[in-house]
Structure 1
Amino acid sequence: MKDIATTRNNAVIAYNSAIELLHQADLDKAYFSKQEEAYSDENANKIEDLRLPSILLWLRRTRDSYALETMRLINHANRSIYYWGLLQKDDDFFSPGPLSNWQNLSQDLQSLDQRFENAMSTFAGSAKSHWPVSGRQGAVYKLSPGQIFTLQTPFKSAVTGETYYSIVITLSPGVTDKSGDLPIFSGRANIRLDLVRLWLIGATVSADQTGAKPITVVLTQLGKETMQNEYRESFDFQHDAVTIPFQFDTDGVESLSDCSEARVLNQQLLGDYYVGNGSPQNSSIAAIGPWSNWSIEVRSSENKNLDMSTLTEAYMEFGGYCSPFRVARLSHALGNRDFRE
Structure 2
Amino acid sequence: MFGHRANWAPRLAFQYYKESVSDQPSFLKQEEYYTTGFEKAVKNEEEQIRYIEKSRNAMTSNKQAADSEIQMLPDTNGPLRTTAYKIVAFTPLLKKKRQDIKNKISQIELSTKLDPELIIEGIGMLITVDPSRSAIKDFLDFGYKLYKSTTMVKDADGNDVKKEYIIEQLADAGDSMESLVEALQTNKQDNTIQLDDPGAMKLIASNDGIKKILKNFKDAIPENQKRELEADLDDYLKTVLTRNNAVLEYNSNVLLLKEALQSRQYAQEQIENLGQVALKINPSLPAVVFWLRKMRDSLRLVMKYLNYESRAIRFWGLRKEVPFAAPGPLMNYIALQNNQMHLQSMFDDSVALYSGNIRVVWPRNSADAGLRYKLTQEQLKILKTLDNEGRYTVFIPLNFHNSQGIFGDSIDVRLQEVRVWVFGAEIAKIDETGHRKLTIQVTHLGNETIYDEEKAPFDLEHDSTEVQFAYHVDLVSSIREANSKAIFSARGLEHDFVLGGQPVKSSRAPLDPFITWRLQIREKDANPGTKMQGVHEVCLEFRGSNRSSKYSNNPRA
TM-score (norm 1): 0.70
Tell me, in whole angstroms, the C-alpha distance in 1 between the residues paired with 2:450 and 2:42. Answer: 49
Equivalent residue for 1:143, pick from 375, 381, 392: 375
2:426 aligned residue (201, 204, 216): 204
Deviation at 1:296, TM superposition (A): 1.0
Displacement of 1:81 in angstroms is 1.2
Distance between the aligned counterparts of 2:493 and 2:548, measured in 1?
21
Contact 1:271 1:283 in 2 (8 A): no
SS of 1:94's equivalent in the other structure is coil
Is the counterpart of residue 170 in structure 1 residue 397 in structure 2?
yes
Q: Deviations over 1:108-155 (max 9, x none)?
A: 134324533542463366212322222111111000111111111110
| Per-residue Cα deviation, 1:229-285 (whole angstroms, up to 9, x for no partner) | 1221111111111111110110042221011111111132304279xxxxx959712
> Residue 238 and residue 40 in structure 1: after superposition, are their counterparts in 2 closer, same or farther (change >3 A)?
closer
2:14 matches 1:43: no
Separation (CA, whole Å) in 2 of partners of 1:40 and 1:223 = 48
Q: Does 1:315 align with 2:539?
A: yes
Q: 1:311 is matched by which residue type in structure 2?
A: V
User: Please, what is the CA RMSD of the aligned residues?
Assistant: 3.0
Highest CA radius of gyration, 1 or 2? 1
Alpha-carbon distance change, 254 to 114 in structure 1, aligned in 2, over 3 angstroms: same
Matches within 5 A, 1:63-78: 64=296, 67-68=299-300, 70-78=302-310
Q: Which residue of 2 aligns with 1:58?
A: 56
Asked if the contact 2:369–2:483 (Cα under 8 Å) also holds between the matched residues in 1, the reply is yes
8 Å contact kept, 1:221–1:295: yes
| Residues 40, 232 of structure 1: alpha-carbon distance in 2 compared, 3 angstrom cutoff | closer
Does the CA-based 8 Å contact 1:204-1:250 persist in structure 2? no
Offset at 1:103? Answer: 2.9
Greater shift, 64-73 or 137-146, is seen at 64-73
Larger displacement relative to structure 2 (195-204 or 205-214): 205-214
| Larger relative strand fraction | 1
Contact 1:64 1:99 in 2 (8 A): no
Q: What is the CA–CA distance in structure 2 between the aligned matches of 1:108 and 1:153, rounded to whole Å? A: 53
2:388 corresponds to which residue? Answer: 156
Read off the aligned partner of 2:313 and give its amino acid letter. Answer: I
- How far apart are the structure 2 equivalents of 1:86 and 1:141? 26
3-state SS of 1:174 partner: coil
Deviation at 1:205, TM superposition (A): 0.2
Which of 313, 325, 330 does residue 81 from structure 1 map onto? 313
Measure, in 2, the Cα distance between the counterparts of 1:188 and 1:282: 29
Percent pairwise identity: 27
Specify the alignment match of 1:32 in structure 2.
none
What is the rounded CA distance, in whole Å, between the counterparts of 1:138 and 1:68 in structure 2? Answer: 48
Residue pairs, 1:287-306, within 5 angstroms:
287-301=510-524, 302-306=526-530
Partner of 1:99: helix, strand, or coil? coil
The AA in structure 1 aligned to 2:411 is: A
Give the distance between the partners of 2:317 and 2:396, measured in 1 at CA: 27
2:340 is matched with which residue: 85, 98, 109?
Answer: 109
Cα 1:266–1:65 shift into 2, 3 Å:
farther
Q: CA deviation at 1:311?
A: 0.2
| SS of corresponding position for 1:93 | coil
- Compute the displacement of 1:190 (Å): 1.5
Structure 2: segments with no counterpart, 5+ residues: 1-35, 62-294, 498-502, 553-557
Contact 2:419 2:490 in 1 (8 A): no
Pick closer, same or farther for the CA change 1:282–1:253 going to 2, 3 Å: farther
Taking the aligned partners of 1:251 and 1:40, their CA distance within structure 2 comes to 77
Query: Shift in Å at residue 105 of structure 1?
Result: 1.2
Work out whether 1:123 is the aligned partner of 2:347: no
Gapped regions of structure 1 (runs ≥ 5): 1-38, 158-162, 178-182, 275-279, 329-341
- 3-state SS, counterpart of residue 394 of structure 2: strand
**Which stretch shifts more, 141-150 or 201-210?**
201-210
Question: In structure 2, which of residues 331, 344, 357 is the aligned counterpart of residue 100 of structure 1?
Answer: 331
Contact 2:420 2:469 in 1 (8 A): yes
Tell me if the contact between 1:272 and 1:282 (Cα under 8 Å) persists in the aligned partners: no
Report SS of the residue matched to 2:446: strand
Contact 2:358–2:547 under 8 Å retained in 1: yes
Instruction: Rate the CA distance shift 1:257–1:40 in 2: closer, same or farther, 3 A.
Output: closer
The separation in 2 between residues aligned to 1:244 and 1:46, in whole angstroms, is 63
* More helix by percentage: 2
Q: What pairs with 1:216-235 in structure 2 (closer than 5 Å)?
A: 216-235=439-458
Q: Is the 8 A contact 1:228 1:234 kept in 2?
A: yes
Are the counterparts in 1 of residues 373 and 403 from structure 2 also a CA contact under 8 Å?
yes
Matches within 5 A, 1:245-260: 245-260=468-483
Equivalent pairs counted in the alignment come to 271
Q: 1:143 to 1:40 in 2, by over 3 A?
A: closer
Cα deviation code 1:53-75 (max 9, x no counterpart): 52364377468389536424422
Structure 1's 171 and 273: CA in aligned 2 closer, same or farther, altered over 3 A?
Answer: closer
Give, as a single letter, the amino acid of the residue that structure 2 aligns with 1:167: V
Question: How far apart, in 2, do the equivalents of 1:266 and 1:40 lie?
Answer: 62
CA–CA distance in 2 between the matches of 1:169 and 1:143?
8
How far apart, in 2, do the equivalents of 1:240 and 1:272 lie?
Answer: 15
8 Å Cα contact 2:359/2:546 also seen in 1: yes
Q: Secondary structure, in 3 states, of the residue corresponding to 2:396?
A: strand
Q: Aligned partners of 1:293 and 1:222: how far apart in 2?
A: 6
Deviation at 1:95, TM superposition (A): 2.7
- Secondary structure at 2:490's aligned position in 1? coil
Report how far residue 322 of structure 1 moved: 2.1
Contact 1:165 1:297 (C-alpha < 8 Å) held by counterparts: yes
Q: Given that residues 249 and 265 in structure 1 are in contact (C-alpha distance below 8 angstroms), is that contact kept between their aligned partners in structure 2?
A: yes
